């Protein structure tokens, strides 16, 4: 009768399996980070559009107030390079277009992310990174300031309505 020695087999299998599991976990982290950023940025852009839809052309508030409102929403994203990299003096690129007199308003937000090591190498080889090795995430949200029936009304838009009431 021959006895097989298998007492160390589990240790050898674990030595191969544990690094593979950590690698898979690392590969799943980057898409989760990018998805989280995408959700926060989309929500901030939508909130910014709702705020811009009420912006008066001659109002007392400057664009800095509206940009600050959007940046407070973006503060949910941690200031860590794998979530949001502080590149240069301006960390977020926020472009806002429109006010209450426009048919539509839009907000565009650009974020730069330092990819995790293994995916970063692949992203650089694929040409997905900029010159500094950062991935760029862009969100653009556009929405109407008024429902379509308001602008299609034969009496004109909201600005013309107020002159009729006087």
Q: Which residue has the tokens 């998805």?
A: 35
Give residue 119's pLDDT: 75
Tokens describing residue 91: 């960390």
Q: What string of pLDDT tens digits covers the 166 residues of the chain?
A: 565 666 777 888 888 899 888 888 887 888 899 999 999 999 999 999 999 988 876 666 778 888 999 999 999 999 888 899 876 666 899 999 988 888 899 999 999 998 888 777 777 778 888 888 888 899 999 999 887 776 666 666 666 666 666 5
Interaxial angle between packed helices 63-74 and 9-52, expressed in degrees from 0 to 180 and rounded to the nearest 10: 160
**Main-chain phi, psi angles of 13, to 5 degrees:** -65, -40
């Amino acid at each position: 009768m021959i006895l097989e020695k298998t007492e160390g087999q589990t240790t050898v299998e674990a030595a191969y399996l544990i690094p593979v599991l950590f690698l898979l976990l690392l590969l799943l982290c980057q898409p989760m980070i990018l998805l989280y950023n995408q959700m926060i940025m989309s929500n901030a852009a939508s909130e910014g559009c709702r705020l811009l839809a009420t912006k008066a052309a001659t109002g007392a508030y400057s664009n800095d107030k509206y940009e600050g409102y959007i940046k407070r929403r973006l503060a949910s994203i941690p200031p860590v390079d794998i979530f949001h990299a502080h590149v240069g003096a301006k960390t977020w690129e926020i472009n806002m277009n429109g006010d209450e007199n426009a048919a539509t308003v839009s907000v565009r937000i650009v974020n730069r992310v330092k990819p995790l090591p293994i995916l970063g190498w692949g992203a650089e080889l694929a040409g997905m990174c900029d010159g500094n090795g950062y991935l760029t995430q862009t969100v653009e949200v556009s929405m109407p300031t008024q429902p379509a029936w308001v602008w299609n009304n034969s009496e004109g838009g909201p600005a013309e309505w107020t002159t009729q009431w006087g």
